[in-house]
Copies of this chain bind each other. A is one copy, B any other.
């Protein structure tokens, strides 16, 4: 199985783009843990580690990682986009708690069936599909009752 770095390098090469230190640091930081992340927190995490990479560079790198099929937009919450790894992870959907922001992933093989049917029926070229559930998590419901 190829490493994330190999995949990213291959992609950049194909597009005549460069594997800069900044892109390397961003890639490394993102794949350090398997968490949903947003740009601002990624920026802060890098800063903490002494990597003063500008927000602009991060914003410019994200689409490249998406194009490389390494990450994806997972969900939008409070005007921020949360991304996630997809390389090496089974496809899944998300529930997000409107109150506390907690994200729960769940399997849904049925979704792929729906997508396939729609694709056949309408002759679309599908780029992405998402099933998102918004609501209140167990914890937040408990608190509310008090």
Contact = CB atoms under 8 A, between A and B. Distances in A.
Interface of A: 76, 95, 97-98, 104, 106, 108, 110-111, 113-115, 118, 121-138, 141
Nearest to A126: B135
B110 A125 contact: no
25 contacts: A95-B118, A95-B124, A98-B127, A104-B122, A106-B118, A106-B121, A108-B114, A110-B113, A110-B114, A111-B131, A114-B131, A115-B133, A118-B133, A122-B137, A123-B138, A123-B141, A124-B137, A125-B136, A125-B141, A126-B134, A126-B135, A127-B134, A128-B133, A129-B134, A131-B131
A110 B131 CA distance: 12
Number of copies: 2
A95 B135 CA distance: 23
Pick from A124, A128, A138 the residue with the most CB of B within 10 Å: A124
Contacts of A104: 122
Contact of A135 (B97, B125, B130, B133): B125
A114 B111 contact: yes
Pick from A95, A138, A141 the residue with the most CB of B within 10 Å: A95
B131 A130 contact: yes
Contacts of A126: 133-135
